[in-house]
Structure 1
Amino acid sequence: MNGENFTLITGASMGIGKAFSKACAERGMNLVLVALPDGQLADVQKEILALWKVKVYIFTIDLTEKGAVKQLYAFCMDMKLTINVLINNAGIGTGGRFENIALEKQLKIVDLNNKVLVRMCHYFLPLLQQQEKAYILNMSSMEANLPLPYKAVYTGSKNFVYAFSLALREELKRGPVGVSVVCPGPVVTNAEGLERMKAHGNRANLVVFMPDEVAEIGLKGLLKGKTIIIPGKINWVLVKLSRLFPTAIKMRLLERLFRVYSSD
């Protein structure tokens, strides 16, 4: 190994992933950034190198493709990179009535949000365990605690990330690797997300965060060893309150709140 530590971030070309990349670079952390081969990741690399004196490697690939995570692992091995932080940020979602969403799109959510995350942890955990101290941060959602009608597969996938992260943390607690899960509420990462926020009206402004806010809170929580990171006091309170409601009442309320997605 080359003696320098690197932070590996998936979904790093935009949104929260890009924000995580900048937040890490600002702290002097060297980076391995991964995203789709759409040209955006090279721009992120240039932007970071212009601002901070860190090393930044990029690897462009669709992580849902067969053997993709193995290729990424081989790249890190070939470059003799020491990975001490893994941020599993890559993910997708959609809204609408379950029967109206193409099966291929639904399964793509599961592939990226769940299967890729498990593969990333499986391949890179042995590297992390070689360090004196290392970290895994998995991106879940506040919606992991709220089975939302019209977002059934997405919220199910984030519930998996939440449960998997807590279980893995417990398994690894006597070793050098700490596992945290970040559960943000609504985050404006693109124009589509902004339109979804507008559909909810003024109430969305109470819980919505920007990517840089989520990344900063998430990274601070990770380095402090927090188990569950929920950005925003209101979001934290909402999650706690949701556990007190009887399931039938909670589900009727959620259906009304998220009915705006039914026609997507």
Structure 2
Amino acid sequence: MKIKKTILTFYLGSFASKLAKCMGVIMIFETHAHYDDEAFNEDRSELIESLKDAGIGYVVNIGASLESSGASLKLAEKYPFFYAAVGVHPSETGELTEENFGRLREACKNQKVVAVGEIGLDYYWDTPEREIQKEWFLRQMELAKEVKLPAVIHSRDAAEDTLKMIQSSNLKSVGGIIHCFSYAKEMAKAYIDMGFYLGIGGVLTFKNAKKLKEVVEYAPIESLVLETDSPYLAPEPNRGKRNSSLNLTYVAQKIAEIKGLDYETVIAVTEQNARKVYRLN
């Protein structure tokens, strides 16, 4: 059965690649970036305006706080190929109140908002306290279901609690992306079975990324999307430098290498996946 599925995946991917080539529209879909970050203050406009010529077809700029959610929306309104996700990162949930939570709900009405995120749990920094993180993770998942938008999930050192909360909230009804996926194959299977996508970025190219490489080898290409988390987590050979969507070619090449697919297939299928999860078909 696994062999048949692999063969089917290959042929579907090849078909998508050939179709995209014929139409001349093979473009990379960047599903997770933070171009509002101060790291881009000096050359933000120039960099963003260069992306199209470099083959970047779409960018979703992700909110991590109330302020950055607003900034993401401004970028989406300024650039036709940009979209926004609005949400509050677990480490920033201490800023949320009943009053300002309404700002997120209102922002979700904008047509260029395609997701609620990034939301979730972060036990690495472990601040604010876990109960506060959990409370606002749940509230933001409920918001995603209310407005019928997918969620972009941040989970660091919180695998079990994140999965349990997603399952109990029935978030699979709207789906989403597990951003910067960093857990084992068993956890990947649980999310894929629920219809979630795994966000794969520069970490995949690191020499010590054995676990993530196993996940990418295991997961169907139809369950993967490309992301950078710019300006963070630049891939080899630019590790340690400021990241941007221009580096997604390295991630796609590594996926192609691991899965035995051609580069164009990876670009074409991951673009389709991103369009599907963000409802841009």
Q: TM-score, normalised by structure 1?
A: 0.38
